[in-house]
Amino acid sequence: MRHLFDQYNQPENRLTHALVSSLANDPALLKKFIQWVTGQEPPLSQLFVVEQTLPGQEEPVQEDETRRRGLPDGWIYGEENWCLLIESKIQSPLRRDQLDRHRVTALKRGFEQILLLALVPNPSEEVDLGNSVILRKWTDLYLWMSQQTESEWAGRLTSYMQVLEQKLVLQNYLREGTLTVFDGIRFGKDNPYSYIEAKRLLRLALDELRKRGDLQEQLRMDSVGEGRPAITGRESTRIWDFLRLEQARGIKNFTEFPHLTLSIHDDQLIAAVTVPNGIRREFRRNLLAGGHDQFYPLFEALLGNLTKALKGIAGAVPWVEVLQRRYPSQRSEPIIDAKLQFDLRTAFHGDQSASENLVKHQEQWLGATYEALSKRNSNLQVAVGAVFPFDRCPDVRKPEILNHVANVWLACKPLIDLVVEHGKASA
């Protein structure tokens, strides 16, 4: 079924239509919007909202005619010769001459107090927009609308922005910036897992994590490095991507280096440092050269760090995964030949006196991990991090979950240091 707001072909016009329709149907929201945009009280006179047309004109013109005539995308005006013009951009650049034409059009219609609002994914500092032009990001609008919880139309708009962003990401139309922001993962019984929604959330989450100075400083995370070249698996129940380390910059095959992996499943979120099968020989040698005497203390240190990082987060589990797989083709889903997943707390004795429900000691899982890696005859990778189950970890539904993801990666610093830095020194 076609969405209520999908009345135009161009994504910019769809988004403007959603905004204008929401404002026109909620006068209280409209007044708050004007105050938010301008920082001033709205005019006392009656307010009118039109799109793809001129004040006083009965019917909107066609999309191609709108572009030809240089009409603003939206027009809010009152009876006191005041108006706020709206220009929306998603992919095309924002130009000063286009805004100047809008201002001239408004002057010809008798308006004297003219303000222009430009909504864009990423503001460009190189464009001189002149006075009276107010620049806002779509994410600013999304956040503000998300706070207007008393407005049904604000909720409709934010929901549509999520839906439209999903489509634009899949179509590769939204190449820079975003329309929304990461505000948690809400998959569950009432909101089943969706591939396109998971892909949107994963993109937003990694965009936020790339900005973190602690990851750049402590782990040497590459804030501009590309992740997966193509995210596939529409029929799968999980989707994943990764952040590179600076040491891997310029490396064609990302599996030569460990990387910071984030994976959204239908039932859980996983953050881990992945040591892939294809890591360089010196990296693998450095991980295993010390035998059990080095391997076990390393994982005990990782457990200590992860325990601190996950303190107070209900349902979160320090996690290890060992995976043997093969690929029928380059772009196909892998065939899993073996998988070992375990709570890292099983590897070391803990205080069992407090509760009978605590994790029981079973050192053999970590022993099996060492044996498999040291006697590898297959495509084998290991990942260390944490699992955040949707049904037991309410923090997943909050934007702050990204802080916990970052802390998990930081807790795995000893693994990265041993594999990459020491391996680099011994090469």
Over the chain, what is the mean pLDDT? 87
Within a 13 Å sphere around the CA of 49, how many CA atoms are in the beta-carbon half?
19
CATH number of the domain encompassing residue 360? 3.30.930
Give me the residue label for tokens 């041993």: 418
Query: Which one is predicted more confidently, 175 or 415?
Result: 415
Please indicate, yes or no, if residue 422 is contained in any of the structural domains.
yes
3-state secondary structure the chain: CCCCCCCCCCHHHHHHHHHHHHHHCCHHHHHHHHHHHHCCCCCCCCCEEEECCCCCCCCCCCHHHHHHHCCCCEEEECCCCEEEEEEECCCCCCCHHHHHHHHHHHHHCCCCEEEEEEEECCCCCCCCCCCCEEEEEHHHHHHHHHCCCCCHHHHHHHHHHHHHHHHHHHCCCCCCCCCCCCCCCCCCCCCCCCHHHHHHHHHHHHHHHCCCHHHHHHHCECCCCCCCCCCCCCCCCEEEEEECEHHHCCCCCHHHCCEEEEEEECCEEEEEEEECCCCCHHHHHHHHCCHHHHHHHHHHHHHHHHHHHCCCCCCCEEEEEEEEEECCCCCCCCEEEEEEEEEHHHHCCCCCCCCCCCCCCCCHHHHHHHHHHHCCCCCEEEEEEEEEECCCCHHHHCCCHHHHHHHHHHHCHHHHHHHHHHHHHHC
Q: How far apart are the first and last CA of the chain?
A: 59
Cα–Cα distance measured from residue 255 to residue 128, given in angstroms and rounded to the nearest whole number: 44
Cα–Cα distance measured from residue 272 to residue 319, given in angstroms and rounded to the nearest whole number: 8
The bridge status of strand 268-275 relative to strand 48-51 is: unpaired
The answer on 232 and 155 residing in a single domain is no
Residue 113 in tokens: 């107090």
Name the band, by pLDDT with cuts 50, 70 and 90, for residue 393: very high
Please work out, in degrees rounded to the nearest 5, the angle formed at the alpha carbon of residue 75 by the alpha carbons of 70 and 77: 135
Query: Which one is predicted more confidently, 13 or 232?
Result: 13
38-52, 126-140, 329-343, 362-376: segment of lowest average pLDDT: 126-140
Answer yes or no: is pLDDT of 51 > 90: no
pLDDT digits (tens, 9 = 90+) for 90-148: 888 888 888 889 999 999 988 999 999 999 988 765 566 666 789 999 999 999 999 99
End residue of a domain, out of 119, 137, 163: 163
pLDDT digits (tens, 9 = 90+) for 273-311: 999 998 888 998 999 988 999 999 999 999 999 999 999
Answer yes or no: is pLDDT of 425 > 60: no
End residue of a domain, out of 114, 131, 163: 163
State the residue range of the domain holding 242: 220-426
Closest CA to 60 of 17, 24, 94, 109: 17
Burial class (CB in 10 A: 0-12, 13-18, 19+), 316: buried
Please indicate, yes or no, if residue 203 is contained in any of the structural domains.
no
Query: Which one is predicted more confidently, 59 or 196?
Result: 196
Residue 367 in tokens: 């022993």
Please indicate, yes or no, if residue 112 is contained in any of the structural domains.
yes
Averaging pLDDT over each range in 40-44, 177-181, 240-244, 348-352, which range is the top one?
240-244
Phi, psi of 94 (to 5 degrees): -90, 125
The answer on 258 and 406 residing in a single domain is yes
pLDDT at 42: 87
The answer on 254 and 134 residing in a single domain is no
Mean pLDDT on 349-365? 74
Q: What percent of the chain has pLDDT over 70?
A: 87
Cα–Cα distance measured from residue 342 to residue 348, given in angstroms and rounded to the nearest whole number: 12
Answer yes or no: is pLDDT of 191 > 70: yes
Cα–Cα distance measured from residue 416 to residue 257, given in angstroms and rounded to the nearest whole number: 10
Answer yes or no: is pLDDT of 426 > 60: no
Answer yes or no: is pLDDT of 3 > 80: no
The answer on 234 and 313 residing in a single domain is yes
Name the band, by pLDDT with cuts 50, 70 and 90, for residue 66: very low
The answer on 336 and 245 residing in a single domain is yes
Averaging pLDDT over each range in 48-57, 110-119, 410-419, which range is the top one?
410-419
Contacts of 238 (CB under 8 A, 6+ apart): 198, 263, 264, 265, 266
pLDDT at 375: 92
pLDDT at 1: 37
End residue of a domain, out of 142, 163, 184: 163
pLDDT digits (tens, 9 = 90+) for 336-352: 999 999 999 999 987 54
Provide the domain count of the chain.
2
CATH number of the domain encompassing residue 126? 3.40.91
Please indicate, yes or no, if residue 45 is contained in any of the structural domains.
yes
Cα–Cα distance measured from residue 298 to residue 289, given in angstroms and rounded to the nearest whole number: 13
pLDDT at 317: 97
Please indicate, yes or no, if residue 103 is contained in any of the structural domains.
yes
